[in-house]
Every structure is written in C-alpha cells, then in structure tokens.
Amino acid sequence: MTATDYKFEGWLGLDASSADGKMVWGEFEPKPWEETDVDIKVTHCGICGSDLHTLRSGWGPTLYPCCVGHEIVGTVVRVGSEVKNGLKLGDRVGVGAQSDSCMNRINGDCEACSSGNENYCQNKHVGTYNGVYLNGGKSYGGYATYNRSPSNFVVKIPDGISSAEAAPMLCGGVTTYAPLKHHGAGPGKTVGIIGLGGLGHFGVMWAKALGADKVVVISRSGVKKEDAFKMGADQFIATAEEEDWTSKYKSTIDLLLCTVSDTRMPVAGYLSLLKMDGTFIQVGLPDDGFPTFQQKPLIFKRVKITGSLIGSPNDIREMFALAEEKGVRPWISVIGMKDANKAILDFEDGKPRYRFVLENQENGAARL
C-alpha cells in the first residue's frame, strides 16, 4: 500500500469557535513522509481536556486548521524503511500527546532524549497536534481517519487491552501514572487525587495499583463519590459541600496530584491537606495559569509544588504492563467519530464518566 491509497481526513478546527462544537470535516496534509515514520489507520481516539484548550486557543494562538486528538489507537498501514522499533504492517498501536522530540538531532546529545525522558526535551517537543516537525510539516491529531507519526512515539498495544480502552491511557493514563510513580506513590503513602475527571479517575486506579496505603479523592461535590469508591478510593472529600474540609483533613496526605484546570481552584485549601514535606503535583493546565495563594504552607510545612508533563514512550509501555498485571481499565463511553462535535460539547459540560472515546467503525474498529 502506498501513501496515495488513503486520504487523511478529520475534524478540523478553523478558529477558536471550533471549541463550541463547530469543527468541520475535511482533508489535511500530513507531515512530509520520512522513512522513520509510520502511518496509522485510526480506529479510536480519546477526548482529552487539552483538545478543548487547543481548539479555543486557550494556551496561546493555535495553528489552524487544527485536528485535535492525542489518545490515538489504530493499525499500522505503512512502515518506513528506517523504522527501528520492530513495528509491522497490521500491528495495533497507539500514539499519545507527543509525537516527536529532538532525538539528539539538534544540539548534539540531549539530556532528556538520551535518558528516556523525551517528554522533557527542551530542544524540540512536537505535540501530536498543533505542532511542527523538524521537516516543517504540521502535526494533526486523531479525530481523523489516518495519522502519520514518527515511529519512536508509536507504541504497541498489548493484546490483553482493547483498543477503545487503550486510547485514553495514551495521554490521560500516562499523565497520571508517570508522576505518581516518579514521586513514590506506593506502600506507606497516602495519595490524594484532585478532580475526578479523565485524568483523575486514572490517578485513583494507578495509586491503588502501585500499592498506596490510602487513596483520597478530592472532588467538588458528592456526585462522583460512589464511583470513586468503586475505582478503589478509600476516602472522599467534597470541597464545595464540606465547609470544614481544610481543617478536618489537615495534614493527612503525602502526595497530591491535581488535575484541575480552573484557575479559581482552592490551592491554599489543597495545600493544607499535605503533611510536612508533602508534595503537590500540578498536571491540570488552566488557560489563565496557576492561581496565586498564601505562601504559609510552603514555609510552615516545607511542602513542595511541582508539575508533570505527559509521559515518555517508555512510561507508556510500563503503564500498559501495570494495567495488564493489575487489571486497570478506564471507565469509558464509546461514541461514533461522526458525533465528535456533540462529544466535545458534552465534555465541556463535565458529562464524561470518565472518558469519551471516538470510534471509526468504518476503519475496522473491533472491540476485544
């Protein structure tokens, strides 16, 4: 099969109004082919909060036309002659939120790329959409029929995980797995997950799978309480409903992972939950930045504030292995690709329980 046998088509955002459910279906020009690339016939793509930030130019001007979607699963239909990681035609693969880094091609030896931390490459981080590759081509995401990505960022999906379930793991999954693992979520630790959405629900399940003593969900209301316990949470805090939550649960948590993307979030209250030397990890990315807050907890409890960006291809492989071993699977609703505009509106309304996955039935999307 050659590149001309199929068309790259998808839902395109043409301007910021596309986030209001106004993406239009159309053809796009993938990056100029290189022999290190693979083409993927997309069967599934999860909907991530980042898709909405990008469609509305929330983080800065988006390079329209833009096809979002970075939780991509499909089958390999073309493999470059210099692909070295063993990918073959017909393989079931995935691409997460990053599809290229400098890979030591810019300033010589890159500390991040050489140490398996490609997600922290400071020379070139190409997002799976709204990015520009070294060869000048633009990156287009997975609300589409086909995707072209550099092979280093294409990962095989283990046989035991269905395509629909694997999709949200590629961004939402690894974005929570990587920092929890890095910061030692495990035996002896109490872990708090703030915001029970797509990222947050993974956070709860990973913290349990990694062996944390106790997992606490910090949500706004009690609406998701029952779900949180089914996911494995041991405790639930509803910040908008329990008036005394900051004092009641004061200094009880070692590690807090915050997935909230609203700059009005009560950061000082969240920090009050941390024990001495506790760590607050921000992964949510509000359009307006991190809120200002009273510095007292930093000083009086020596707590640390840090952040974390997605995960490397190796983190993704490791996450899949843990998911297989411990039976971690996302809670998803599968929606036809044709209904993507309605799906992003529902996403903005907070309806996913807990991830929407778009499916291209005509591309042979078979669920295991």
Contact residues for ligand NAP (CB under 6 A)?
48-50, 53, 171-172, 175, 195-200, 219-220, 224, 259-262, 264-265, 283-285, 308-310, 350, 352
The minimum distance between CB 261 and Zn ion, in angstroms, equals 11
**Start-to-end Cα distance in the chain:** 26
As measured in angstroms, the least distance from the Cβ of 97 to Zn ion is 5
Q: Is 12 in the site for Zn ion (CB under 5 A)?
A: no
Beta carbon of residue 96, minimum distance to Zn ion (angstroms, whole number): 8
What is the rounded distance in angstroms from the CA atom of residue 274 to the CA atom of residue 250?
7
Question: Between 145 and 308, whose beta carbon lies closer to ligand NAP?
Answer: 308
**50 lies in the binding site for Zn ion (CB under 5 A):** yes
The site partner of 219 among Zn ion, ligand NAP, none (C-beta below 5 to 8 Å per kind) is ligand NAP
Using rule CB under 5 A, residue 185 touches Zn ion: no
Least CB distance to ligand NAP at residue 202 (A): 8
The full DSSP string for 147-170 is EEEEGGGEEEPPTTS-HHHHHHII
78 contacts: CB under 8 Å, gap ≥ 6 = 1, 2, 3, 37, 38, 39, 89
Q: What's the CA gap between 314 and 41, in Å, rounded?
A: 23
For residue 171, state whether it binds Zn ion (rule: CB under 5 A): yes
Q: Of 43 and 50, which CB lies nearer to ligand NAP in the complex structure?
A: 50
48 lines the binding site for Zn ion (CB under 5 A): yes
Which tokens in the block code for residue 208? Answer: 């349990």
Q: Residue 170 binds which one of Zn ion, ligand NAP, none, with CB within 5 to 8 A depending on kind?
A: none
Nearer to ligand NAP, 128 or 145 (CB): 128
CA 220, 223, 226, 231 dihedral sign is negative
User: Whose structure tokens read 């990918």?
Assistant: 87
Nearest to ligand NAP by Cβ — which residue?
197
Q: State the nearest-atom distance from the C-beta of 79 to ligand NAP, in Å.
A: 28
Least Å from the CB of residue 71 to Zn ion: 7
Q: What residue is closest to Zn ion based on CB?
A: 48
| Candidates 5-13, 35-43, 96-104, 143-151; binding stretch for Zn ion (CB under 5 A) | 96-104
Strand residue runs (E) in the chain = 9-12, 24-27, 37-46, 72-79, 92-95, 98-101, 125-127, 146-150, 154-156, 190-194, 214-219, 235-238, 253-258, 274-282, 304-307, 332-336, 355-359
Q: Which does 41 bind (CB under 5 to 8 A by kind): ligand NAP, Zn ion, none?
A: none
Q: How far is the CB of 125 from Zn ion (least distance, A)?
A: 14
Choices 49-57, 157-165, 186-194, 295-303; region in contact with Zn ion by CB under 5 A: 49-57
Helices 198-209, 174-182: axis angle to 10 degrees equals 40
Nearer to ligand NAP, 137 or 197 (CB): 197
Cα 229–chain centre separation: 23
C-alpha Rg value of the chain to the nearest Å? 20
Let me know: does 93 contact 76? Beta carbons within 8 Å.
yes
Residue (of 240, 305, 248, 238) closest to 273 by Cα position: 248
260 binds, among ligand NAP, Zn ion, none (CB under 5 to 8 A by kind): ligand NAP
Exposed, middle or buried by CB within 10 Å (0-12, 13-18, 19+), for 28? Answer: middle
Positions in the binding site for Zn ion (CB under 5 A): 48, 50, 97, 171
